[in-house]
Amino acid sequence: MTDYGEEQRNELEALESIYPDSFTVLSESPPSFTITVTSEAGENDETVQATLKFTYSEKYPDEAPLYEIFSQENLEDNDISDILKLLALQAEENLGMVMIFTLVTAVQEKLNEIVDQIKTRREEEKKQKEKEAEEAEKQLFHGTPVTIENFLNWKAKFDAELLEIKKKRMKEEEQAGKNKLSGKQLFETDHNLDTSDIQFLEDAGNNVEVDESLFQEMDDLELEDDEDDPDYNPADPESDSAD
């Protein structure tokens, strides 16, 4: 007759020595414990982690233990689903033998695969972004191929914008014409305008300065006097043109 209790106690002792930093006993009856599994460091030292909870059934290892993911870090929902499927498969294959170490080892390998997948996915995303950037740069140089359809769309949009600009300008000019006063309206609305010129002359009357040197320079000019001409006859208009 199999002593299940003895086999379970022996496995617990072995697990505690194998995983001294990640093995934690939760209860003794029924025996329940957790083991934290961490992947190898990936890109930028990123890791994924899962804490597995196991509970022995009464007839373990002839019956599979109860298991669940107690907590996790950086795992997606589909990753968790894959790990639970893996545990079910491994438990089924190892019935009749103590199997916790085998289950934990399988999860460890799965976590390493997930880290590799994350790295591959990020590399693909990086390449995709680089490709999109190159395509965008080519688009800047080559522009959009002109077709009849996109030209007509552009022209319709351009004509609509131009029409709006013209309407706005006409409205502004119309408004400006309404607000502009004629000369008559200015004099009718501002009575100071009809006396402004007179007032200006009165204010400037005593302040007009004359440059006397201009007249002195005129005295220096040698001007010919008709009376000095011996042939000049003031009574004869043709005497001046006889010369």
Report the mean per-residue pLDDT for the chain.
81
Q: So what's the pLDDT on residue 204? A: 57
Beta carbons of 74 and 66 less than 8 angstroms apart: no
Token pair belonging to 179? 């607000």
Alpha helices in 64-223 (DSSP H): 77-93, 100-142, 148-179, 183-189, 193-204, 213-219
Domain locations in the chain? 4-117
- Determine the straight-line distance between the first and last CA of the chain, rounded to whole angstroms: 166
Give the length of the chain.
Answer: 243
**Of 26, 18, 119, 41, which Cα lies nearest the Cα of 71?**
26
pTM: 0.53
pLDDT for 5 equals: 93
The pLDDT value recorded for residue 216 is 58
Distance CA 180, CA 186 (A): 10
In CATH, which superfamily holds the domain spanning 4-117? Ubiquitin Conjugating Enzyme (3.10.110.10)
pLDDT in tens, the chain (243 residues): 679 999 999 999 999 999 999 999 999 999 999 999 999 876 667 889 999 999 999 999 999 999 999 999 989 999 999 999 999 999 999 999 999 999 999 999 999 999 988 888 888 888 888 888 887 777 776 666 778 888 888 899 999 999 999 998 888 888 877 666 666 666 566 556 556 555 655 665 555 565 666 555 555 555 555 555 556 565 555 555 544
Distance CA(203)–CA(29), nearest Å, equals 118
Q: Taken in order 136, 138, 139, 145, is the CA torsion positive or negative?
A: negative
Cβ(98)–Cβ(7) under 8 Å? yes
